[in-house]
Chain A
């Protein structure tokens, strides 16, 4: 299955020049695996949630687990933490089988969505709690707390109780409580979801910086795409109780293996059309639901003519055409959404077809009106083709 795919280099020539270098992932290839889940299955009251999940995180890796709500992300994290018991499968941390061990013997630290700060303890005592339980010498506790509080700017809050802290401050204390532990593995369950947008962006950057600084190994659960794309070395997309795809975030974004992954990642979501493959002067074209587009993407085998496919085009790759001849379709505009730095037009190609979203340059956005018909062009190199039945990428 997807096991240890982390380390594999991207296949084919899919890596476009746009892709930022991923030094950490390159390093990961040589690093030993820090945490591995093999064939994890878990059901609640006969309701199978995880149906054989394999995940591997190399030492120093930042793995982000994404998936739709209720797909079992938190469940998997709790299994790794030992707060939940797997029905089948095994877990390894630092090469040691921890499947049957209680949480305290796994040497992990976890940041909860609700932060779960001990309400009766001051910030300092919250940080010291785990270390005291592990009989860490006083001097060591003091120095670790000092270090963490300097990193997170907690100095002034040390003697406050959690109820006297703001949401952002609580979040930092929760991070601090994990940091002082110097654990083998750090687990995060949507740690930013209770923060407002501005703070979220700020803390997101801090988390990645801390991770690198500490040389930590992290498993991070979120359903926020931006967090997933920006934080991860390796993205693990969970769907229907299994890992649907894993890899460096940009690779997953640019070469989704299935319709699910393609539409799950990216905002606004990818446009999808039902189409048939046609041969035109030696070129492969996909035609249907008001779209006509050349497939300019490198593939192992080009699909045979007549094959039913789903064509996927990200809104970002569907732009205003110079003239109708080069157009892939004609967009009947229903709504224009201008965000300042970019704009999207929402509409349809054929009235019976799917909703279509295209990117507009600012000058087009200013002129575009509801009811306009704009010729739009797909970038052939960025066309995604999926089998119509299996919805797997071709």
Chain B
């Protein structure tokens, strides 16, 4: 069974795999090549993702904006996304735990409502959210955006975390309580650490959904200093002239933090996805 594949087999398998990989990363390579091409998209851009006239010009254009506005906008994105992740985890963790462990009046109805909120596309609520934020004087503010993002990321996080709490054996808490813990201590010292991978994954998801979100941000933000990066990016490809070069450079800059987070959270991610390590 375990014999080494022959050379021919190896070549065939790798050819097929490489074809698929190429298929998947071709657009990405193209964006990368575009980002490093002076002048962006031009008639000389061929089908091959090779930068013509290579330079960092596009990155300079993106980050140069008047008075370092790009860095302000990057800060907006970071703050909003981090805050969304924190709010999601802080609210969802106790809620998910309660839903996983206790029986109470309205549990089913509550779960149903949470599920229902997940079923509507974001655009559907864009207008009412706009009116709400206007009434609260939170348009064009990071707090307003976090609030809006929380409405979708909190329910999602609750579902995710509830599932992972359910995989943690109740006996762990019972053992802790027999050992001398109060229910709160059992939660903080045993359940939370055991759920750490799942919580990390949940936070990452919340962060990413906020980081990449465009429609609501574009609707609710009109002041340039309040923009988050997806809105900034979109501005490069306006109706009249599409600055594809800077757009590609911006897209790369936007992707870097997410990739870095994924890389850092790799182990937690795998742990969270397999929910391992919690079996006594």
Contacts and interface: CB of A to CB of B under 8 A. Distances in A.
Nearest to B278: A119
Interface stretch (A26-34, A104-112, A330-338): A104-112
Given A116-B171, A120-B193, A83 B178 contact: yes
Contact of A163 (B172, B193, B277): B277
B185 A110 contact: no
A119 B194 contact: yes
Interface string B245-280: 000000000000000000000000000000011111
Contacts of A213: none
Nearest to A129: B179
B171 A112 contact: yes
Contacts of B178: 81-83, 103-104, 108-110, 130
Contacts of B179: 104, 109, 129-130, 133, 177, 181
Query: At the interface, is chain B mostly helix, strand, loop or mixed?
Result: helix
Interface residues of A, number: 27
A117 B190 CA distance: 10
A170 to B, nearest CB: 7
A162 interface: yes
B222 interface: no
Contacts of B278: 119
A114 B180 contact: no
B32 interface: no
A162 B280 contact: yes
Contacts of B218: none
Interface string A363-375: 0000000000000
A133 B278 CA distance: 22
Nearest to B190: A118
A77 to B, nearest CB: 11
A102 interface: yes
Contacts of A109: 178-179
Contacts of B175: 110, 112, 116-118, 177
B27 interface: no
B108 to A, nearest CB: 17
Interface string B154-198: 000000000000000101101111111110010001100110100
B279 A116 contact: no
A116 B172 contact: yes
Contacts of A103: 174, 177-178
Contacts of B279: 119, 163
A78 to B, nearest CB: 8
Interface of A: 81-83, 102-104, 108-110, 112, 114-121, 129-130, 133-134, 162-163, 170, 177, 181
9 contacts: A104-B177, A110-B174, A116-B169, A119-B280, A120-B193, A120-B194, A133-B180, A134-B180, A181-B179
Given A83-B177, A112-B175, 13 more contacts: A104-B180, A108-B178, A109-B179, A112-B171, A112-B174, A116-B280, A118-B176, A119-B279, A120-B194, A129-B176, A133-B180, A134-B180, A163-B276
Interface of B: 169, 171-172, 174-182, 185, 189-190, 193-194, 196, 276-280
The 4 lowest CB-CB distance pairs between A and B, nearest first, are A130-B179, A116-B171, A133-B180, A116-B175
